[in-house]
Structure 1
Amino acid sequence: MPTEIEIQITPLFSTPLLVFTPADHVRINARLSELILQREASVPTHRDTEVIGWSSPHDLSMLEWAGEPLRALFAPVIEVAKQVTTLSDRCSHGNRRPDWNVVEVWANVQRHGGANAAHSHPGSFWAGVYYVDVGEVCPQQEKGGELQIYDPRGCLPRMLAPYLQYSMTELHDAGTSISYTPTAGQCLLFPGWLFHAVNTYHGVAPRISVAFNLDPVLTSAKFNGTQKTVAGQPSR
C-alpha cells in the first residue's frame, strides 16, 4: 500500500500588487479627466519611445496644472504605502513605517492604437497607476488596453520545460505574464522593478491614466551605524 506523505507547499518570492479605490474617486476622475484632456489638446506630447499616445513630462509639473485632484488622490495613496512598508532590520529604526513622497507623476491618454511598451520604473520602491477613465476596456469586448504584468523571474521556467507547468495554482503563471483589466477609479501599487506594459488599445473613447513613483522620506536614519539622510522631492 502507498504510504501517505504530508506535503507542505510554501509559495516563495511573492510579488505584491495592491489594488484599491479611493473613496472620492468619482469627483477625482471628473476633475482629472477634464484637466488632462484640456492639456492633451493644448500641449504636445512628452517624447517617450515607450509610449504610443499622449503623455505629459515625467516630473512634478503635473502638480502645477492638476494639483487639487492630485492632492485628493495621493492622500490615500501615501497612507496605503505607509501601511504596507516598514524599515528593514538594517536600520536602527526597524519596524517603523516611513513616510512617502511623490517624486514623479504624469498623465497618459491613449486612443485607438495606443500602447505602452514593457518597462519598469527604476529607482522607485513603489510605482503606481491610477485609472481616470478606461475607455472601452473590458474583458468581454476585447478592446485591448489591459495592463500586462510580467513574471519578474523571467521566461526561464518555460524556456527550460515549455511542456510542463507546476501543479500548484499559485505557480501556474511561472514564466508568463498576467493581463489585468482595470476599472475607472482603481489605483494599483507595485514594486518599481516589476516590468509591465499596456496592450494595444482598440477602443474609440480615450483611455486616461495617471502614473507615479514614490520614494521614502528617511531623515537622519542610522544605517549600519552611520548617519544617512535620504529624502525624495516634496509632494505639493
Structure 2
Amino acid sequence: MPRLDIAVRGLFATPVAAVVVPDSAERNRELTEIILRRRAATPSIQASNAGGWHSDRDIANWGGTRVNEVLDLGRQVANQLTADRGGRRISPKWSLQAWANVNGPGDGNISHYHPGSFWSGTYYVEDGGCGADPNLGGEFEMLDPRGPGPGMYAPALQFAAEGVAAAGAGETIRPKPGLLFVFPSWLLHQVRPYRGNGLRISIAFNLGLPRPGVE
C-alpha cells in the first residue's frame, strides 16, 4: 500500500515563548542584591509557594531600574505574541503584577494558574545550580491543559506529530540565569522542589487588561 500523504494540523496549540536575555550577568548580580535585601526586611506572603520567600506584588515599585528592564522585556515578548480577533498585532496597555521568588533547599511551588491575567512570565536571576544538574530539581513544570486523558487511556502510546508527544503529561523548563519565558496565564503550572544548597531566584509577572474604570 502506498504511503499516504496526510495533512496534520497542530490544533489548539499552547504558545510558550522563551528568550535568553544577553549580557545578563551584571543585571542578575544587582537583582540578587536587591531581592535578598528585600527578603531580609520583609516577611514572605503565602501564595503558591511551598516554603521559600514570595515577595509582595509591588516589585515594580521597589525593585528599581534593573527590575523594570526585565518587566519591559516581558511586555515586549507579550506584545509580539498578541493579536486581536482579526489576527492584527496589537500592543495593549497591560495591567501589571510582579513579584520575586526565592527558593532554598526543599522549596517549591504547588500547581496553580493566574486568574484575571492573559500572559504570565518568569525571569531567572539565579538557578542555584539546578540548570546544570538535573538531580537538583527546581524545574518549572507546565501541565497539559487537556488533562491526563491520553496517558490514562493508552499510556504506552503517544501522538506521532510535532509538538504533541507529551499529551497527557507535563513539560518542564530548566532554570537558567537570564532566561525569560512567557506563557498563557490559564496554563496550570508548578515548580518542583529544589534540592540544592544554594538559592533559586526568579522574578514573576502577570499581564492583563485593565478593568473598566481602573487605571
Return the TM-score normalized by structure 1: 0.83
In 2, are the aligned partners of 1:147 and 1:199 still within 8 Å (CA)? yes
The counterpart of 1:110, out of the listed 103, 109, 119, is 103
Task: Identify if the C-alpha distance between structure 1 residues 49 and 13 changes in structure 2 by more than 3 Å, giving closer, same or farther.
Answer: closer
Q: Is 1:9 aligned with 2:44?
A: no
- Kept in 2, the 8 Å contact 1:121–1:192? The answer is yes
- Measured against aligned partners, the alpha-carbon deviations of 1:149-203 in whole angstroms (never above 9, x if no partner) come to 1111110111222232223343210000012112101111000001111111011
- The residue correspondences of 1:171-186 to structure 2 (distance < 5 A) are 171-186=164-179
Given the alignment, which residue of 132, 136, 140 partners 1:143? 136
Structure 1 position 162 matched with structure 2 position 159: no
Any conservation in 2 of the 1:107–1:208 contact (CA below 8 Å)? yes
- Of all paired residues, the percent bearing the same amino acid is 35
Q: Structure 1: which 5+ runs fail to align?
A: 218-228
Which amino acid in the other structure matches residue 68 of structure 2? Answer: R
Report what 1:67 is aligned to.
Answer: 64
CA separation in 1, counterparts of 2:189 and 2:99? 16
CA contact (8 A) 1:215 1:232 kept: no
- 1:53 Cα deviation from its structure 2 partner: 0.7
**Aligned residue pair count:** 215
**Matched AA of 2:172:** S
In structure 2, the residue corresponding to 1:197 is in which secondary structure?
A: strand
Q: Does 1:77 align with 2:74?
A: yes
Using the TM superposition, give the Cα deviation of residue 51 of structure 1 relative to its aligned residue in structure 2, in angstroms: 3.0
Query: C-alpha distance in 1, partners of 2:141/2:6?
Result: 33
Task: Report how far residue 137 of structure 1 moved.
Answer: 0.8
CA RMSD of aligned residues (A): 2.1
Partner AA of 1:14 in structure 2: A
Letter in 1 for 2:64: G
**Structure 1 CA distance for aligned equivalents of residues 195 and 9 of structure 2:** 40
Q: Which amino acid aligns with 2:200?
A: R
Match of 1:53 in 2: 52
How far apart, in 2, do the equivalents of 1:73 and 1:149 lie? 22
Shift of 1:73: 1.4
Match of 2:208 in 1: 215
**SS at 2:109 equivalent:** strand
- Consecutive unaligned residues of structure 2, counting only runs of 5 or more, are none
Q: What is the CA distance between 1:214 and its match in structure 2?
A: 0.7
Within 1, Cα distance between the matches of 2:136 and 2:194?
6
Contact kept in structure 1, 2:121 and 2:206, CA below 8 Å: yes
1:37 corresponding residue in structure 2: 36
SS at match of 2:36: helix
Is the 1:78–1:100 contact (alpha carbons within 8 Å) kept by the matching residues of 2?
no
State the Cα distance separating 1:230 from its structure 2 match: 4.6
Please tell me whether the aligned partners of residues 82 and 100 of structure 1 are also in contact (alpha carbons under 8 angstroms). no
Q: Name the CA shift for 1:28/1:115 in 2 (closer, same or farther; >3 Å).
A: same
Report the structure number with the largest CA radius of gyration.
Answer: 1
